[in-house]
């Protein structure tokens, strides 16, 4: 029961923060509400009994990506002009409503198979076993390391003074 109340609270705040990201005129404020949305999504992971993911969400999204975005906003001078919409605002709104309608129609009318088993708690040892253990996801982990190195080099090469 407490979990239900927590879910409704978090869902309301996250949808409100997401709407604020899209609707606010001030770019900096919409970045701050994006941070709020990331934090609330970490809470939603906790209600889904994914404790490790909540920690990762706070560390990477709130700690890393949010700072990158705020720095980028401060480096560019366009913030004084706010965040205007382009000519396609009305068609984009209609497309988003259609997207939401079609997805929720499909979701509600699909008979999902719900398992009655209780979830693994805590998830961290099980996730480590999945990622690094035998028959797990060790190849994608290595590829992710190579991807991160490529991104590091690419970002440095793009931002270097000519």
Partner 1 sequence: MSVGLEHYLILSAALFSIGFYGALAKKNAIIILMCIELMINAVNIAMAAFSRYSVPVLLTGQVFIIFIIVVAAAEVAVGLAIIMNIYRSRETTETDKIDLMKW
Window 49-108: residues binding partner 1 (CB under 8 A):
49-50, 52-53, 56-57, 60-61, 64-65, 68-69, 72-73, 75-78, 81, 83-86, 88-89, 91-93, 95-97, 99-100, 103-104, 107-108
Do 46 and 58 form a contact (C-beta atoms < 8 A)? Answer: no
Binding-site member from 9, 120, 133, 142 for partner 1 (CB under 8 A): 120
Q: Could you give the angle at which helices 66-75 and 27-47 cross, rounded to 10 degrees?
A: 180
Nearest to 10 by CA among 51, 39, 50: 39
Considering the complex, what minimum distance in angstroms separates the CB of residue 111 from partner 1? 11
Length of the chain: 162
Nearest to 43 by CA among 26, 60, 55: 55
Site string for partner 1, 12-51 (x = CB under 8 A): --xx--xx-xx----x--xx--x--xx--x--xx--xxx-
Take residue 116 and report the two structure tokens written for it: 């009655």
Q: Phi/psi at 118 (nearest 5 deg)?
A: -85, 145
Considering the complex, what minimum distance in angstroms separates the CB of residue 93 from partner 1? 6
* CB nearer partner 1, residue 112 or residue 134: 112
Considering the complex, what minimum distance in angstroms separates the CB of residue 50 from partner 1? 5
* CB nearer partner 1, residue 84 or residue 134: 84
CA distance 54 to 52: 5
């Amino acid at each position: 029961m407490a979990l239900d109340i927590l879910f409704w609270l978090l869902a309301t705040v996250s949808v409100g923060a997401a709407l604020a990201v899209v609707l606010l005129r001030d770019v900096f404020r919409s970045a701050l509400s994006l941070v709020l949305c990331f934090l609330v999504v970490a809470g939603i992971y906790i209600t889904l009994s994914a404790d490790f993911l909540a920690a990762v969400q706070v560390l990477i999204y709130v700690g890393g990506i949010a700072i990158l975005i705020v720095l980028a906003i401060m480096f560019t001078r366009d913030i004084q002009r706010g965040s205007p919409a382009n000519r396609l605002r009305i068609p984009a709104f209609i497309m988003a409503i259609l997207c939401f309608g079609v997805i929720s129609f499909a979701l509600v009318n699909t008979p999902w198979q719900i398992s009655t088993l209780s979830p693994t708690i805590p998830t961290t040892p099980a996730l480590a076993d999945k990622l690094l253990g035998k028959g797990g996801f060790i190849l994608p982990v290595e590829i992710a390391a190579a991807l991160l190195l490529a991104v590091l080099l690419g970002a440095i090469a793009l931002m270097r003074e000519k």
